[in-house]
Structures are given as structure tokens and as C-alpha cells.
Structure 1
Amino acid sequence: MKKAFALVILALIIVFGGIFGFKAFVNKKISEVMAHMPKPVVAVSATTARTELWHPHLQAITSLTAVQGVEITPQIAGDVTAIHFHSGQYVHAGTVLVEIDDSNQLAQLASDEAQLRLARINLRRTRALIATKAASQSQLDSAVALYQSDAAALKDIHATLNKLAIRAPFSGYLGIRQVNIGQYLTPGNQIVDLQSWNPLYANFTLPQSELHDIRVGMPVQVGTNAYPGQVFNGTVTALGASVNPTTRQIEAQAIIANPENRLRPGLFGELTVVRDTEEKVLTVPVSALSYNTFGNYVYVIKKETRDGKTVEVAHQQVIQTGKERNGQVSIVSGLKAGERVVTAGQVKLVDGSLVKISDEKDT
């Protein structure tokens, strides 16, 4: 029994050994054939890394706000009796927007005016009497005090009436109307928002490491996806008095010209502070970059001799990148000016691939 089992095991070893041996033999022959086959040449696009002069930029995310902007609200409660504006309308400073019921105040105004007239008459009479010594000084003092009190009451009712006629505090564009005729309003109820669109403030923050690179008066440029490809110019007008101890950021503000009223308060965009210096940077197109777990790299094209022929070979080269601008990226290390890099076709490449340049541009 044991002898039969051993024979079976031996037979299996011979069979499987033959199978694996045959596969190894086939793979070896295939490898030998592949080694002697010409390597494929990959068509790629390329460009040359070169040195450029860049104005150093400071970039930040910004939010636009109105230099003058306010939510119009009543100061005194009452029913809306008249509305004198339309949503989206441009109004001048002082324009009456909404009237609130002032019937009680008008009645009080008539009463206060009558009281003031009487107080004025009594004051004149008392002054005439005191000239003939028919009235005392205390009577004159009382008449003066009463006149001044009635005059103050009249000013107070005029102030109340002015508050019931709600006016635009400055010229600008109105938003969407939030009230209707007959609606009862209380202080704080929103009537409409009023915004001045030209100019606008651009508020942004910068890390403390860039504090020495920014100052009041520097030019800025703002871009927003509301107007792709367009730039709006402005100037830095203020820097924060301190650095935020939590974020280590400093607040800054710029004023942006908006003569065509295209921008709106609340827009989100990218702001660039343009410094007045230049620096040399080595650049390549952003399209030349590839990424893996070890970082950024490019394929550098080099000429080599293989089998007596001069060929162009793409080699992976790890680089350290800097800032991006207009489709170009600055190279901090890992590349030299004049080296050619692949800009299209990298997906077909591995380190050491033969390449044929089908399109080469001088950036």
C-alpha cells in the first residue's frame, strides 16, 4: 500500500514538474524573442524649460463688499402708507422710499405749532410788561422757558415725521422690495437693501510670512468666475492692526474700481497683489507635470546611443514646483534651463521609453 502511494506521488511530481518546466521554457523563449524585438517608439509633444522674469505675486481669496451698503429698516413702528421705489432701482441720496402712517404725528404737529405761537405771544407780552415794570423777572424767565420747551417739542415732532418718511441715506442701487402697502412694520424689519457698487472693497487675508511683502498702495487684480478671463484692478488701502493669533493671518483690504457696475457686493474671487520687483524663475507648462506618491515629476527627453543609433529617451525626473501663473509653473529644483520635457503623451510612457517628438514648442 505504501509502495503504491509513493509511486502515485512520484508520478504527480513528474507530471507537474514537466508542466512547470515546459512553461518556464516557453517563457524564457518569449523573453528572448521580446528582448530582440525593437522597443516601441511613443509619439509625444515636448517643450523646453526656460528662464522667465516674473513679478512676484501674492495670491489670496477675496470677498467683495460695498464701500457703502445698508439694509433699510424703520426706526418707528407703523403701517406702510406709500412705497416710492421699485426693486433694482437706482436712487439718489435723500429720495423718499417708504412712508409710514404719520396721522397721529401730524395732529400732534398742529397742536405743538399752536402751543409755540401762544408761547411766543406770551413772551412778547411779558417783555413789554417788564419794560414798564408791570411784570417781574421771574414771570419773564417762566415765559422764556415755556417758549423754549414748546420750540423743542416742535423740533421733536418734526424729527419723528422725518423718520416716518424713510429716505435713501446715500446714492446706490436697491435690492428686492420686502414690504407691501398696509404692512405693519416694527424697528428692524427689512424694507430693502441699498448698495453702492462703485467702488467696492475687496477683503482678504495673507499669512504672516508675507507681511513684509505687502504695503498700502500696492496694485491688485481681482478675478471672478462671474466674468471668466477678466481682471478688475484696484489698490491696497488698509492692513489689519494685528495678526490673528489663531490663524496667523493678517487681514487686508483693497479698493476695486467698478465703473461699469459689473461687479456686485458679495462676489467671491481670487485676488493677486502685484509687487513692483522682478525675479528669474525656471518654468515649464503645467501640462508637463505628472504625480505619484513620491511627488511631482516630469519626463525629461535625452539623446542616447543604443545599438549604434542615436535615439531619444524619456526619463522620469522628480522636481519641486513653485507657483503657477498663466498655465506655467515655476520649478524650484530638479530641472535645468534648456532641458526638454514631455507635455503630452505621458500616459503611454515609463522610465526609459523611446520617444518621437511630434510637436515641440519653445515656451
Structure 2
Amino acid sequence: MVSGLSVRHKLFIKNNWGLIPLSFTIESMIKRMILMLLAVGVFFGSIFGWKAYQAGQMMSGMEMPPVSVSTTIATSETWSPVLDSVGTLRASQGVDITAREAGMITELRFASGEAVAAGDVLAQQYVEDEHARLAALEADVRLAELNLGRSEDLLNKSLNSQFDYDKSKTDRDRAVAQARSVRLTIDKKTIRAPFAGRLGIRQVDLGEYVEPGEPIVRLEALDTILVDFPVPQRSVGLVHAGQPLIIRVDAYPGREFSGQVMAISPQVRAQTRDVRLEGLVNNKTEELLPGMFAEVATRLPVQEEVVTLPQSAITYSPYGDSVFVIRESVDDNGETVLAVDTLYVQTGDMRGDQVAIVSGITAGDRIVTAGQIKLRNGSRVVIDNSVPVSNRAISVLDDG
């Protein structure tokens, strides 16, 4: 028995040179395969590199045709800063026409949506009972007048006491007051327009019994309209009564309605830390209606010089706003060449189609307004301004 002896078994492959270990054969095959793959990779890499080089040489030798663009000149303008807000429109006067006495409607003298003048009769309630009671009370007044006259004659002749005269006078005054009370009731049942304006939709029918305070129709004075809007408390010192303003409403896109600030609330609202302002807007055409939502722009008294461009000239992106500026140069043939440079700009307020440029360009620079999508830095261009670009500012900012 042999101890401590290990026997190691090996596999061999027999060829013309004798026995070769199997492990040596596998290692040789792997090395040859790696060398082959490296050779193939170098071969195809050389081919692709050469093709890429040829394509680059061809591209560098080609000259891109100029891009047709529209342009404008950056201008310097005097702008009055505006305070933007949102508000709600309401009529300068508006009220629900209601019944002041209980009674049945016997006449309706208006149509829904009709314009009326102050004092026009709108409806009449049943008053036959009141007229009958008034006739009886007027008879009592005449009798009381006669009794008072007789009592005065008797008093002058010392045939009557002062008490009897005073009682007759009191009876006369009571009868007159009762008759006047009935006349007032009759007048209350004649329902009139308290001011000139336009009626809303009728809410009662002929023959309907109405109670005091029950609405009959809405009346709104629309020749002028009020706008209520807030401003932050930090801006209160910049506004005062009489400042011009404009409003814009969704119902009339592109339209602007001029007015002025009429009143400023003396109190800052604690919940929102703002101050309520009231503006008055001319509305002779009655296009603006109470309850409309409005954008309000109030012009501030200070003025500033700004460089302006049409909004279409600005290329907006998350990395910064930019414009394409036209640059002139002369090529080797002595010809003028137009190309563009990309400049990043800082934008400010917007007024209609215009936007203020805080920094990045100066007045007089020629800026591309259309065709930017085809451009890159250094692209050659040709100018075609046959189609004008909208560049309109809102009217409230015009000085004069």
C-alpha cells in the first residue's frame, strides 16, 4: 500500500508528431480566433473610416444655398410701464325691479331686453279696491272740511268751544292723511323704471300675484360700465384716480376698451394683501356686459426707453430665449454676403405683438422674424419682406 501518492491523469491527442496535450490544442484555437476577429475588425473599420472621410470632404466642399427669411429693425421706443391685473365688470347702475306692494299684475308694459327711460311705467298691479277706498276717503275729507269751517264760524261767534274746533280740525287732518295713504298705495302699485337702462328677462306673467320684494325684471345702465380689480399693496403708491387703463375680454379677441381709474379703496384686504380699485369704461355700444371677466392694464406715470421686437422674432427655449441677427460681410469675390449670428436675449414686458428686450441686442440691429426653423449659427440668408409681420402695441401705451 502506497500512502501520500497522488496520480495525475492527462488527456492526449495523437498526430503525426506524436502525442499532444488536449489543453494545449484548445488554447491555440482560442488565440487564432481572437487574431482573426481583430483582423476583421481592423479591415471593416478602415473601410468605414475611409467612407466617412470621403463624405466629410464632399460636405465641406459643398456650399449650402442661402435661406429666405423675413427681417425687422430693432427699434427704441418710450413705454409707460403698466400694472396688469384681472377684474370683473359690473354696471354703473343695476337693480332688480320688484313689487313694493302685494297684488296681481294687470299690465306689463315692457318687453325683455328693451331699453327704457327713467320713469317709464313697466307694470301695473290691481288697484280697483284702492280707487274705491280713495273715493270714500275723499268724501270724508270734503265733509271734514265743511265741519271745520262751521266750527271755526261758531268759535268766532263764541258759540263753540276751542275743544270742538280742535276736534274738527283733527278729523279733517286724519281724513286727508288717510286719503294720501291710499294714493301712495296706488302709486306703489304702478311700477316704474328708476333710471334709464336696458331691461333683462321678464320674470313674471300677466295675472300673476306677486309679493313685496319679488323681482319682476332686471334693469342695468350699460352706457358706462365699472371694472373692479385688485393691485398688490406694494403698488398702491403708483396708482391714483384718473390714470388711464384698458380692458380686454375673451368675447372680443383683439379688441381693447379704454377707461380710467375712478376710485381706490382706503383699505388693504388682510386675506390677500391687495387693494381694490374701481375703473370706469365707456360702453356706448353696450358690448360689455356685467359679470364679464376682464384683463386690466393700468398705465403708470413713469416712462422708460426700451428696445422692442415683434414676438415672432424671439425663439423661446428652456435654455434661454434667442434671436438671429443679420451680419454683413464681403467674400473673396467682393460680393456682400448676409449671414446670421445667434444671440441670447433677456425679454421684458409684452404689449400686444411687441416684446421689450432688456439685454442682448441694440436698437438698429436687423433681426430675423420668420424662417428661423431653417437657420443655424452662421447660415447664409436672403431677405424677403414681402409678407409683413404683425408688430402692434396696445393703445393705452401710446403717448399722445
Q: How does the TM-score come out when normalised to structure 1?
A: 0.81
Q: Which residue of 1 aligns with 2:72?
A: 47
Match of 2:342 among 313, 316, 319: 316
Pick closer, same or farther for the CA change 1:19–1:249 going to 2, 3 Å.
farther
Pick closer, same or farther for the CA change 1:210–1:27 going to 2, 3 Å.
same
Secondary structure of the residue aligned to 1:292 is: coil
Answer with 156-165 or 118-127: which moved more.
118-127
Pick closer, same or farther for the CA change 1:246–1:336 going to 2, 3 Å.
farther
Residue 104 of structure 2 is aligned to residue 97 of structure 1: no
What is the deviation of 1:194? 1.9
Question: Following the alignment from structure 1 to structure 2, what is the Cα–Cα distance between the partners of residues 137 and 291?
Answer: 99
Q: Which residue of 1 aligns with 2:375?
A: 349
Question: Following the alignment from structure 1 to structure 2, what is the Cα–Cα distance between the partners of residues 16 and 56?
Answer: 71
Q: Which residue of 1 aligns with 2:214?
A: 189
Q: Which residue of 2 aligns with 1:289?
A: 314
What is the percentage of aligned positions where both structures have the same residue? 36
Structure possessing the higher relative contact order (Cα contacts under 8 Å, 6 or more residues apart): 1
Q: Which residue of 1 aligns with 2:192?
A: 167
Q: Which residue of 2 aligns with 1:242?
A: 267
What is the deviation of 1:82? 0.7
Q: Which residue of 2 aligns with 1:325?
A: 351
Question: Following the alignment from structure 1 to structure 2, what is the Cα–Cα distance between the partners of residues 146 and 354?
Answer: 107
Root-mean-square deviation (Å): 3.7
Q: Which residue of 2 aligns with 1:154?
A: 179
Aligned residue identity for 1:250: V
Q: Which residue of 1 aligns with 2:324?
A: 299
Q: How does the TM-score come out when normalised to structure 2?
A: 0.75
Question: Following the alignment from structure 1 to structure 2, what is the Cα–Cα distance between the partners of residues 280 and 256?
Answer: 29
What is the deviation of 1:226? 5.2
Q: 1:60-94: CA deviations, max 9, x gaps?
A: 44544322222211122222111112233332221
Pick closer, same or farther for the CA change 1:136–1:345 going to 2, 3 Å.
same
Q: Which has the larger radius of gyration?
A: 2
Q: Which residue of 1 aligns with 2:277?
A: 252
- Equivalent residue pairs, number: 363
What is the deviation of 1:252? 2.2
Question: Following the alignment from structure 2 to structure 1, what is the Cα–Cα distance between the partners of residues 128 and 37?
Answer: 113
Question: Following the alignment from structure 2 to structure 1, what is the Cα–Cα distance between the partners of residues 36 and 267?
Answer: 83
Pick closer, same or farther for the CA change 1:41–1:129 going to 2, 3 Å.
same
* Unaligned 5+ runs, structure 1: none
Pick closer, same or farther for the CA change 1:129–1:295 going to 2, 3 Å.
farther
Question: Following the alignment from structure 2 to structure 1, what is the Cα–Cα distance between the partners of residues 331 and 210?
Answer: 88
What is the deviation of 1:347? 1.4
Match of 2:59 among 23, 34, 37: 34
Q: Which residue of 1 aligns with 2:363?
A: 337
Question: Following the alignment from structure 1 to structure 2, what is the Cα–Cα distance between the partners of residues 8 and 119?
Answer: 144
